Amino acid sequence: MGRFLLGLSVAVAPLHAAAQCAGAVTDIATAASCAEHRSASPVLIEADPAKAYTLDELIDIAESNNPRTRVTWEQAKQAAARSGIARSAYYPQLAGTALFGNQKFINPFPKPYAPHGFTMVEMPVADAGLSLEYTIFDFGRRRAQLDAKKAQQLAAAASFERVNQDVAYAVVQAYYRLVTAQEKLEAIHQILETARATQAAAEAQLANGRSTLPDVLNARAGTARAEYGLESSLGDDAAARVALREALGVEPSEAIIVAKPAALPGSDEVSASAQQLVEIAIVDRPDLAALSEKLKAANQELQAARDSYSPTIDFAAKGSVQSLWPTVSKQYGSSLADTTQFVWNADLKIHWDFFDGGLRRSEALARSSEQRQAAEELREKRDGITREVWTAYLQFRTATRQEQAAETLLKAATTSYDASLEAYGYGVKNLIDLVNAESQLAEARLAVVQARSAVLTSAANLGYTTGEMLRKNPASPPAGAAHP
């Protein structure tokens, strides 16, 4: 199945070079491995107020600075560590031991050798050696526990990917709000120029005696409305800049410059049907992958709980050098020899719990309930993704068609205004006709701005809902990640 293509830089945005893992990350398993071996730098990235940032660079800054990405990165590392803990159960435990002690005890002894029928023995001891413990066979319990931890590790990596997409999508929305504010500001400037041209034409006609003062005042009111709209648009632009810096995780202010996006994506650039996009989302959505791995983990934990009904076979051994200095109560007139010897012991043990007060049964019931819960959460998420993709697809298709219609409207409104202005100059049309044409042109210009904004945001939303946003990027830790 071919991927759908959108002409948006966010779809292939490269992340911070210092933060990249070696090679491209194309699945959550590789992302999990990256999280296991890399650490995040505490250094945050500041935004340069003199630089014109592309959307790719803005996403990079936000992913480096946002606390959510750092939290989920650490959670992915913790899940990797827990997998290592579970894996260690397959290895023997080797330990060095040392013991130094002394004891005094009653040693029964027959009469008449011991007048009282016992002797008092004092025995200092020193022991140093190695001990070995190893579980030979546990009927799959360790395997189930390890598989559960591996699934949880993949789920944590998938959650990290989705949080990165969440952060990127928030930046995309803030970026396009600023772009829309800038384009609206440009449109308002054009509307103001048109209003001034209308006013100039009315004043010229008044000077020639072919217009009235109320017509001129009406034209001046139109110019004043355009100037009011300009001030409002300047405020919207400043607010959008502040919101973008806030989305980046830097100090809010107006001091940020952005580069404009490339050409708008068209509906013909989506080469997949809605159903194909749903299938892509089912495969690529990290949050769905996280729930799928959570279900796998629940299945394995349930299996481990069932395996706890089986016995375990363990081996234990110890070898040491032991020294004894025993003495007997002096009144008995006997002594024992000091000695230092190598001693050892080895055991093969079968352990099988026959009764535990319902502990294992309750554990199995809890794990079974968690497994059913995970299955229902996965089903709910899959259904929700299907609805989200269909909605995003229809919104994008509608937005592209509206943008085409808005461009057509703008051309028609421009032609109408130019013709009305020329006709008004010849006295063929009155000022009311010219003002109506001016209003239609202003509405058309604003419609184009809104339509362009809808195309950009709906295209980004389509990439977000299908899980394609940032999928072609190397998965990376927050800024400046380095080997631990």
Average pLDDT over residues 113-141: 88
Instruction: Give the model's confidence band at 11: pLDDT under 50 very low, under 70 low, under 90 confident, else very high.
Output: very low
- Residue 451 identity (one-letter amino acid): A
Distance (Å, whole) CA 463 – CA 272: 13
Q: Residue 24: its pLDDT value, please?
A: 42
Distance (Å, whole) CA 215 – CA 203: 9
Instruction: Give the model's confidence band at 330: pLDDT under 50 very low, under 70 low, under 90 confident, else very high.
Output: low
Per-residue pLDDT at 214 exceeds 80 = yes
Q: Which CATH number fits domain 9-465: 3.40.190.10, 3.50.30.60, 1.20.120.790, 1.20.1600.10?
A: 1.20.1600.10
Find where tokens 């071996």 sit.
37
Q: Residue 268: its pLDDT value, please?
A: 59
**What percentage of the chain reaches a pLDDT higher than 90?**
46
Instruction: Give the model's confidence band at 331: pLDDT under 50 very low, under 70 low, under 90 confident, else very high.
Output: low
Per-residue pLDDT at 155 exceeds 90 = yes
How far the first Cα of the chain sits from its last, in Å, is 40
Give the mean pLDDT of the chain: 84
Residue 362: name the closest of 308, 298, 311 by CA: 308
Minimum mean pLDDT among 49-53, 90-94, 203-207, 401-405: which range? 203-207
Per-residue pLDDT at 74 exceeds 80 = yes
Residue 56 contacts residue 14 (beta carbons within 8 Å): yes
Q: Residue 12: its pLDDT value, please?
A: 36
Distance (Å, whole) CA 156 – CA 400: 37
Q: Residue 428: its pLDDT value, please?
A: 78
Minimum mean pLDDT among 54-68, 285-299, 333-347: which range? 333-347
pLDDT (tens digit per residue) in 16-49: 333 434 334 567 777 777 777 776 666 677 888 8
Average pLDDT over residues 219-233: 89
Minimum mean pLDDT among 200-209, 243-252, 264-273, 453-462: which range? 264-273
Residue 484 contacts residue 32 (beta carbons within 8 Å): no
Q: Which residue has the higher pLDDT, 211 or 442?
A: 442
Q: Residue 126: its pLDDT value, please?
A: 93
pLDDT (tens digit per residue) in 377-400: 999 999 999 999 999 999 999 999
Measuring CA to CA, how many Å separate 252 from each of 92, 124, 169? 56, 73, 19
Question: For residue 330, how many C-alpha atoms fall within 13 Å in the half-sphere facing its CB?
Answer: 0
Minimum mean pLDDT among 137-151, 168-182, 189-203, 267-281: which range? 267-281
Extents of the domains making up the chain = 9-465
pLDDT (tens digit per residue) in 416-473: 989 988 888 877 778 888 888 888 999 999 999 999 999 999 999 998 999 887 655 4
pLDDT (tens digit per residue) in 300-309: 999 999 999 9
**What percentage of the chain reaches a pLDDT higher than 70?**
87
pLDDT (tens digit per residue) in 341-378: 999 999 999 999 999 899 999 999 999 999 999 999 99
